[in-house]
Amino acid sequence: MVYKLSSVLALVATLALTGNAQKQIQGLTFAGNTGAPDSSFNLPKNALAEAPISDLKSKAFACRSNGFNFPAIKSYSATGGEMFIVTWDKAAIEASGKSKITGPCNHWLASTAAGTDNLKWFRIGEVGYSAESGWCTDIIRKDGQLVVSMPDDLPVGDYIFRSEVIDLTYAGKTSNDDPTMGAQFYADCLKYSVTGGKNQKMPTEGLVSLPGAYLATDKGLLLNLTADGKPPAGKYTVPGPALHQQRK
């Protein structure tokens, strides 16, 4: 698919890596028009105390303690098949303290056609590790941007978009074994409406619950990084269900 500049979605996000994250995704611009950010976010009142999350069973895992209680003024919308440019705050990453955040990124969608109880999530994008570019977090430090393609085979309707960074700095043990250890998750959610595309039925494969998609002992969550922050043997598989494969 060929993307035109005018059809690129710019998703402006910020990630506070010292545990003081408030709104990790800041806003969305589509074709030059910026929506009112707070109308699409579910920012909880005590957001400053809610990132990162290392308890994989926490009710706040998917979208923090406010759950899916959005202000509901408007959603960001675009035709299925468009591209997101996810822009993270490089300054926050570089000022993360003694140990820099290191790890992969995942991007998720969940349809709200049947409400927000028992949402089923599917992954639409990931950035892991490569010898050429390093970790997803290294790409953020260098470019500040990640490109995510919105599937063009989804039914028209409302969704929740979830962007997630996983910090593996303390992933040598699980948080169950040591409360100060474990992979740490930074994520936030916003409302998103698909207004066009192939308008096919919802996918049935790769659907998971959040919390529930991860186990503390998953290969991609329980590992010791090398002294220079690389995965063992230089290889890494991003945790999570299989990525959504677009249908013809």
Higher pLDDT, 162 or 1: 162
**pLDDT band, residue 98 (cuts 50/70/90):** very low
Question: Would you list the domain boundaries of the chain?
Answer: 5-229
Q: So what's the pLDDT on residue 38?
A: 46
Q: So what's the pLDDT on residue 74?
A: 53
Q: So what's the pLDDT on residue 233?
A: 92
- Provide, rounded to the nearest whole percent, the portion of the chain with pLDDT above 70: 66
User: Per residue in 164-189, pLDDT tens?
Assistant: 889 999 999 998 899 889 999 988 77
Considering Cα of 191, then 28, then 121, then 83, what sign does the dihedral take?
A: positive
- Residue environment code for 95-131, b if the CB has 16+ CB neighbours within 10 A, otherwise e: ebeeebbbbbbbbbbbbbeeebeebbbbbbbbbbbee
| ω into 155 cis (within 30 of 0) | no
**pLDDT band, residue 215 (cuts 50/70/90):** very high
May I ask the CATH architecture of the domain 5-229? Distorted Sandwich (2.70)
Model confidence at 70: pLDDT above 50: yes
Model confidence at 92: pLDDT above 90: no
User: Per residue in 4-34, pLDDT tens?
Assistant: 322 333 444 433 333 334 444 444 444 444 4
Average pLDDT over residues 123-149: 88
Model confidence at 48: pLDDT above 60: no
**pLDDT band, residue 194 (cuts 50/70/90):** confident
Q: So what's the pLDDT on residue 6?
A: 29
